[in-house]
């Protein structure tokens, strides 16, 4: 039985491996505390093997952000050793699923097929959990479903938001639906949904948030989704009038008049590049053109998993922040507690 865990770095990933029935092996070690997020002992990943990297953006405004267009198929498999690029993709696109056969061979799995157990969204960095054992994958998926029903969070995200939430912590609840608008799938909040709305795909969503640090008009926020819906966390933070930094899809729904923020109608607001104000650009040391390439600052930092044998303590898997994310925290003076 084998579980593979990878941490995504903005577009490509470096992996660590956990072999056997969650036995510790080289490349994985226990840590007493994850800096800034969580307090339980867990496993921190460390890269193994070779690591051919693609070229970063000109001038390196976002260190650690890798670009798929600069990778060959062979380089992708080599960089990964289990890499996470994306959960979905158009035919012909270079994605995680398109290289799973090569990835299985690279890991010495033979004919065993890898499957995704848990993953962050397309633009989100962080942990991606893969398994070559159907029984283990099924058990973990059932664990995540049961935890959601019991409203026990299993995933911790960290985000940098443009704006500071009105309260330091709380719950965000919203009914959401997915609509296809102008060739793009967009998530739309639904006020006072009816029974018919729920029958037609509207879902109730819930997230916990906790402000870890504030500074320069921005915040470092810990997010714990208790439901699963596309772009849930981005939309939830928009509803708090604090879009995630680098959210070039939903941030346009937050308008400003005389320094006061308000929500624009989601149905009539088209996605557009996020435009930080001049003060924030100066703090980030970015030009407007560089800001247009700002990656989404939403990172799946931690997954809570059950012990894989009777009597074993639960585990916590951790992924360190991408270097561009850490650079942003430094520029904004946001320090993890």
The answer, yes or no, to whether residue 51 has pLDDT greater than 50, is: no
Q: For the residues 84-94, what does the mean pLDDT come to?
A: 51
Lowest mean pLDDT among 7-16, 256-265, 317-326: 7-16
The answer, yes or no, to whether residue 288 has pLDDT greater than 50, is: yes
- Please tell me whether residues 69 and 106 are part of one structural domain: yes
Mean confidence (pLDDT) of the chain: 77
Question: 20: how many CB neighbours lie within 10 A of its CB?
Answer: 11
Q: Is residue 44 part of a domain?
A: yes
Q: Give the pLDDT confidence of 111-162 residue by residue, as tens digits.
A: 777 887 887 777 899 888 888 888 888 889 999 999 999 999 999 999 999 9
The answer, yes or no, to whether residue 206 has pLDDT greater than 70, is: yes
Cβ proximity of 188 and 180 under 8 Å: no
Q: Is residue 323 part of a domain?
A: no
Length of the chain: 337
Residues 154 and 305: their CA atoms lie apart, in Å, by 7
The Cα-based distances of 52 to 59, 286, 326 in angstroms read 19, 27, 22
- Please tell me whether residues 16 and 108 are part of one structural domain: yes
% of the chain beyond a pLDDT of 70: 72
The answer, yes or no, to whether residue 219 has pLDDT greater than 50, is: yes
- Please tell me whether residues 117 and 208 are part of one structural domain: no
Residue among 163, 304, 164 at smallest CA distance from 224: 304
Lowest mean pLDDT among 9-18, 43-52, 213-222, 273-282: 9-18
- Please tell me whether residues 12 and 144 are part of one structural domain: yes
Query: What does pTM read for this prediction?
Result: 0.74
- Please tell me whether residues 197 and 255 are part of one structural domain: yes
Domain count, the chain: 2
The answer, yes or no, to whether residue 239 has pLDDT greater than 60, is: yes
Distant-in-sequence, close-in-space partners of 43: CB < 8 Å, separation ≥ 6: 16, 18, 24, 28, 29, 30, 31, 315, 316, 317, 318
- Please tell me whether residues 178 and 98 are part of one structural domain: no
Q: Is residue 329 part of a domain?
A: no
- Please tell me whether residues 129 and 111 are part of one structural domain: yes
Q: For the residues 26-55, what does the mean pLDDT come to?
A: 34
Q: Is residue 322 part of a domain?
A: no
By residue range, what is the domain housing residue 133? 2-153+305-317
Q: Is residue 16 part of a domain?
A: yes
Q: Is the pLDDT higher at 303 or at 62?
A: 303
């Amino acid at each position: 039985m084998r579980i593979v865990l990878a941490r995504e770095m903005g577009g490509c990933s470096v992996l660590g491996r956990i072999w056997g029935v969650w036995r510790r092996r080289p490349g994985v070690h226990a840590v007493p505390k994850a800096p800034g997020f969580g307090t339980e002992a867990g496993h921190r990943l460390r890269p193994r093997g070779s690591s051919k990297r693609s070229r970063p953006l000109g001038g390196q405004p976002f260190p650690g952000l890798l670009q798929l267009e600069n990778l060959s198929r062979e380089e992708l498999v080599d960089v990964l050793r289990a890499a996470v690029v994306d959960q979905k993709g158009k035919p012909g696109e270079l994605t995680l699923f398109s290289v799973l056969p090569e990835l299985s061979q690279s890991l010495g799995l033979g004919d065993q097929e890898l499957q995704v157990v848990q993953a962050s969204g397309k633009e989100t960095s962080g942990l991606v959990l893969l398994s070559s054992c159907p029984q283990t994958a099924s058990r973990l998926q059932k664990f995540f479903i049961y935890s959601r029903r019991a409203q026990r969070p299993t995933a911790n995200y960290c985000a940098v938001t443009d704006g500071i939430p009105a309260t330091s912590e709380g719950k965000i609840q919203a009914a959401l639906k997915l609509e296809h608008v102008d060739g793009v799938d967009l998530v739309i909040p639904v006020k006072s949904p009816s029974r018919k709305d729920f029958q037609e795909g509207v879902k109730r969503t819930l997230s916990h948030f906790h402000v870890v640090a504030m500074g320069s008009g921005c915040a470092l926020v810990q997010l714990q989704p208790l439901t699963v819906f596309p772009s849930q966390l981005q939309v939830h933070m928009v509803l708090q009038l604090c879009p995630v930094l680098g959210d070039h899809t939903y941030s346009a729904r937050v308008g400003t008049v005389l320094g006061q923020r308000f929500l624009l109608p989601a149905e009539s607001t088209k996605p557009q590049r996020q435009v930080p104000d001049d003060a924030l650009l100066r703090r980030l040391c970015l030009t407007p053109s560089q800001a247009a390439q700002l990656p989404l600052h939403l990172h799946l930092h931690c997954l809570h998993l059950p012990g894989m044998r009777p009597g074993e303590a639960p585990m916590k898997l951790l992924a360190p922040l991408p270097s561009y994310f850490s650079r942003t925290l430094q520029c904004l003076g946001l320090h993890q507690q």
